[in-house]
Structure 1
């Protein structure tokens, strides 16, 4: 048997049980083995170590001095293994750090209002949140969960859908007073449009043209790297922007932004997902708790 094939922790466990339960038969019952199998395992262990651990001349097991030392170290090592496993899984309690990657818009308008409730439910969890609209490598960023929008490419990531949001073309009242309100697709050419500075799955603005939905190319007068920055530019009167309802819904209701070309809005929905790395094993309790909480509480 090669060194790699030896289950040292398993050997230690059987040896410790034999000592603490006072015999091979009791250890065999506890370990779901036969007494002969326990005897052979101890004999192999002694042969491999080159020492006698147990004197078998009496009806009860009697440890040799070397056996006493090995027993004490085995108990300590098995306790360390059990503690490592408890720390890794945190049992059924959600505990430890969670690294979240999300867009600034989703983070500010959807995630942030929910976090106090999540932390009240799971006080042993700590959160580390990174805001970026760019798609990041979860492994490289050491992120446990990322919130992503739009169609997902095939990958090793596992996705849990959180919902879908409508989008609106908006502008500030001041911008519309200065430049007029667009009434048609052709009118968009006369307006400053605010776009993203990175490539998107959908590279234009979908609008209804009679009964068909057409994708209107957008050559932005201003480019920005995140949706929250785009919202602030629209609020400042810089131009037109197309953003999700959770980003601009409160601004529209308060009159800070105005929805334009709404009769041409096709009502398309942008889907949002919580994604995480799938490696075949069970999720840590802290990550599973966050995913379950988001799935139950996110409203877009």
Structure 2
């Protein structure tokens, strides 16, 4: 087993099976041969990939990072070979997707059954978070994000747009009153985000000009879904994307505040992917799938 791809296959099998003997049995190798491959890898990389004991084999943090990279590389190799050997390449392999929680909950997750039925060879690895994620470091293939794009090393395709609104539940307004001007918000509990891109100011348009007003509150959260739940519970006022509160507004569960001062700030929604020249078939078909399914629903 001299090739690096062969070593990667042995390593990933050990991680997935949990032991040298199980990996060896699956690959028709002796446990000793598997152990030598792992030792050779560790020596070349200069790190421990596993913590070993007489009864337990645990993947180290470095081993986990290496495993994620190996899976990605091996999937690309398999796809490249299949593309050469088949007249038409069937997309397959692991597809790592990162989506904001509201967008994932309302739009992406409901589409996954349709996507996997259409492309059964693709293994979906879906993560939902509103925090800023380094796509390259996290080995993310595709991300869906709302708002301005800040990473020029990735390409993006627009899926649609969404407005934003300041909202509260009727129960909160009954207890604390309805703000009549943006200045009134200083007397109210306003929710905000706790990650680094967030601002504690909200934009409002007054006499044709946009001003940013500071807001305060004693509750911060890292995602819009939690903020929506807190707002529905009557705990305060929030500023949220219309794409995931439109049903709440239509039903009266939430009420838009200060609509005359809404600056009409529209945020674009993009699917983001690597700027590298080569795009795997699984990434390409997923992007096309999102455009097909979401563009009609995300028109501002």
| Normalised TM-score (structure 1) | 0.68
SS of match in other structure, 1:142: coil
CA-CA distance at 1:201 after TM superposition: 6.5
Q: 1:270 to 1:193 in 2, by over 3 A?
A: same
Structure-2 separation of matches of 1:179 and 1:203 = 21
Structure 2: stretches of 5+ with no match in the other structure:
1-76
Deviations 1:137-194 (A, max 9, x none): 1222121111122221243111111111011111111111101111101111111000
Measured after TM superposition, the shift of residue 109 of structure 1 is 1.0
2:185 maps to which of 174, 188, 197: 188
Q: Structure 2 matches for 1:96-175, cutoff 5 A?
A: 96-175=93-172
Corresponding residue to 1:214 among 211, 214, 217: 211
Counting only pairs closer than 5 Å after superposition, residues 1-300 of structure 1 correspond to structure 2 as 85-87=80-82, 91-200=88-197, 204-281=201-278, 283-298=279-294, 299-300=297-298
Residue 198 of structure 1 aligns to a residue whose secondary structure is coil
SS in 2 for 1:186: helix
Deviations 1:216-258 (A, max 9, x none): 2223332101111111110111100001111111111122111
Q: 1:83 & 1:109 partners in 2: Cα distance?
A: 33
How far apart are the structure 2 equivalents of 1:263 and 1:151? 24
Q: 1:210 and 1:196 mapped to 2: Cα distance?
A: 28
Is the CA contact (8 Å cut-off) linking 2:221 and 2:227 kept in structure 1? yes
> Aligned partners of 2:151, 2:198: CA distance in 1, in Å?
14
Q: Which moved more, 1:97-106 or 1:203-212?
A: 203-212
The SS at the match of 1:141 is coil
Residue 138 of structure 1 aligns to a residue in which SS? coil
CA contact (8 A) 2:154 2:272 kept: yes
Q: CA deviation at 1:274?
A: 1.0
User: In the alignment, is the contact (CA less than 8 A) between 2:95 and 2:124 conserved in 1?
Assistant: yes
CA contact (8 A) 1:110 1:246 kept: no
Matched position secondary structure for 1:155: coil
Greater shift after overlay, 159-168 or 215-224?
215-224
Count of aligned pairs between the two proteins: 218
- For structure 1, list consecutive stretches of 5 or more residues without a partner in the other structure: 1-81
- Flag the 1:201–1:192 CA change in 2: closer, same or farther, 3 A: closer
The answer to whether the 8 Å contact 1:88/1:284 transfers is no
Alpha-carbon distance change, 83 to 122 in structure 1, aligned in 2, over 3 angstroms: closer
- Describe the SS at the equivalent of 1:200: coil
How far apart are 1:115 and its partner, in Å?
2.3
Partners of 1:151 and 1:201 within 8 A in 2? no
Question: Shift in Å at residue 206 of structure 1?
Answer: 1.3
Q: CA RMSD in A?
A: 2.1
